[in-house]
Amino acid sequence: MIVGILFFFLLFFGAPVALSLGVSGLVGMYEMGGLHFTAIAPSKIFNGLNIFPFLAMPFFILAGEIMNHTGITGRLVMLAEALVGHFRGGLAHSNMLASVFFAGITGSATADAAAFGRTLVPAMEKQGYSRSYACAVTAAGSIIGPTIPPSGLMVVYGSLMGVSIGGLFATGILPGILVCVVCMAIIAATGKRKNLPKTAKRATLNEILFHFRGSILALLMPLIILGGIVFGIVTPTEAASIAVAYSMIVGRVIYRNLSLSSLFSMMIKTAQISAVIYLIIGAASILGWWLSFNQIPQQIAELFLTVSSNHSIILFLIITMLLLVGMVMDINVMLIILGPILVPITQQLGMDPLHAGIVFVLALNISLMTPPIGACLFVLSSVTETKLEKISKDLIPFLLGELALLFIIAYFPSVTLFIPRLLGY
């Protein structure tokens, strides 16, 4: 009891997440005896980080930083606008489609929100959209990034739960595209009522081909990554390092706008982001061991199973728990803490590990755009100087649509397993 109280007490008073996790776990070990405290804690931190696929994360982050720095965002936006800009709400549609293209570069919702918050939101506002609606569209589309591969969250999930990362990547393709389709349908359905603007003319085939040629190098990167992993040519970590090499060649040799000084600053930023993630994972390993030793995950699993014997109700409770906790906690921390507790329950329900994985990932991604701690909302609010409550109000239709899609994916496994089964997973 004291461990849980201490953890939430530290979080409530603004202590860093890693500190809250580590101190709580150490206090739990200390209660068990000095031997556990001095001998087991260091080894658990090391073992929690000594997972080879974790090396993929900094590489994917760095590749995204380099591709974003080279101006690829603008090229992708122009391609998206050439394809769908002529519809009512064309720039909002372009925002969504660009999120699909951009997903293969960063794999991060907050990175997408920050990039489009600085570029597309001002462009949409200039064309006649309200700033809050432009932010809502950007927030709704930002979760496409960590759903379509490569996805940092999938790397963490696959590494911790022993699930094929390549299989998770393949499983995320269709759900990510469906998120885009659902959001574009909402834009189309509300476009006339909101009097959303549209481009005067449709782009010609030559214009589309021109923008496609300008974006082809960015569009090839996710194909190289996913293809190499799916066909067993490279591991996820090797694919991530290839992505860095590819992005450096594109920026330095082809676009010629990648300097050594900017590369150094991007490497520092990558190290800072990675260090935070690894520190959280290492600290969570201590608390995770304490939870496992005291069989708390098993007790929670038994509690879930005693609530109802109906698999559909249990799955509903799992998703609800992910969404609710995601409102107030970082999704990486949630995955590290709740994954070992909830994943065994999905196994007892007979869920395919890949299906369970995409349900977890999509639910956690949706929680990124839900107040009060939705990271994407805070990023957009900060970047665009827009009040959080205004963005949240315009976000409601998109949030409801994405929640409906989440439950469809959860209760109809074939929707997500079609592509991985086709590829032999």
At 165-193, the pLDDT tens digits run 888 988 998 999 999 999 999 998 887 78
Q: What is the pLDDT of residues 251-290, one digit of tens each?
A: 888 888 888 888 888 889 888 877 877 777 777 777 777 7
- Start-to-end CA distance of the chain, whole Å, equals 42
Quickly state the pLDDT bin for 43 (edges 50, 70, 90).
Answer: confident
Q: Is the pLDDT of residue 142 over 80?
A: yes
Residue 398: the pLDDT is: 93
* Short-list 50, 192, 138, 124, CA closest to 369: 138
What is the number of other CB atoms lying within 10 angstroms of the CB of residue 31? 12
Q: What is the residue-wise DSSP string for 42-110? A: HHHHHHHH--GGGGHHHHHHHHHHHHHHTTHHHHHHHHHHHHHTTSTTHHHHHHHHHHHHHHHHH--HH
Residue 52: the pLDDT is: 66
* Short-list 281, 250, 300, 125, CA closest to 196: 125
User: Stretch 115-119: mean pLDDT, rounded?
Assistant: 74
Residue 411: the pLDDT is: 94
Quickly state the pLDDT bin for 330 (edges 50, 70, 90).
Answer: low
Residue 240: the pLDDT is: 79
b vs e for 384-403, b when ≥16 Cβ sit within 10 Å of the residue's Cβ? bebebebbbebbeebbebbb
Contact 103, 90 (CB under 8 A): no
Q: What is the pLDDT of residues 186-213, one digit of tens each?
A: 998 887 787 787 765 777 888 888 888 8
Structure tokens at 302: 């038994």
Residue 124: the pLDDT is: 83
Higher pLDDT, 183 or 98: 183
Residue 244: the pLDDT is: 85
Q: What is the pLDDT of residues 294-321, one digit of tens each?
A: 777 667 667 766 777 788 888 998 898 8
Residue 183: the pLDDT is: 93
Residue 403: the pLDDT is: 94
Chain length of the chain: 425
* Predicted structure pTM score: 0.78
SS (H, E, C) 153-166: HHHHHHHHHCCCHH
Mean pLDDT of the chain: 80
Q: Is the pLDDT of residue 23 over 90?
A: no
The continuous run of DSSP H or E covering 24 comes out as helix 17-32
Quickly state the pLDDT bin for 104 (edges 50, 70, 90).
Answer: low
Residue 371: the pLDDT is: 67
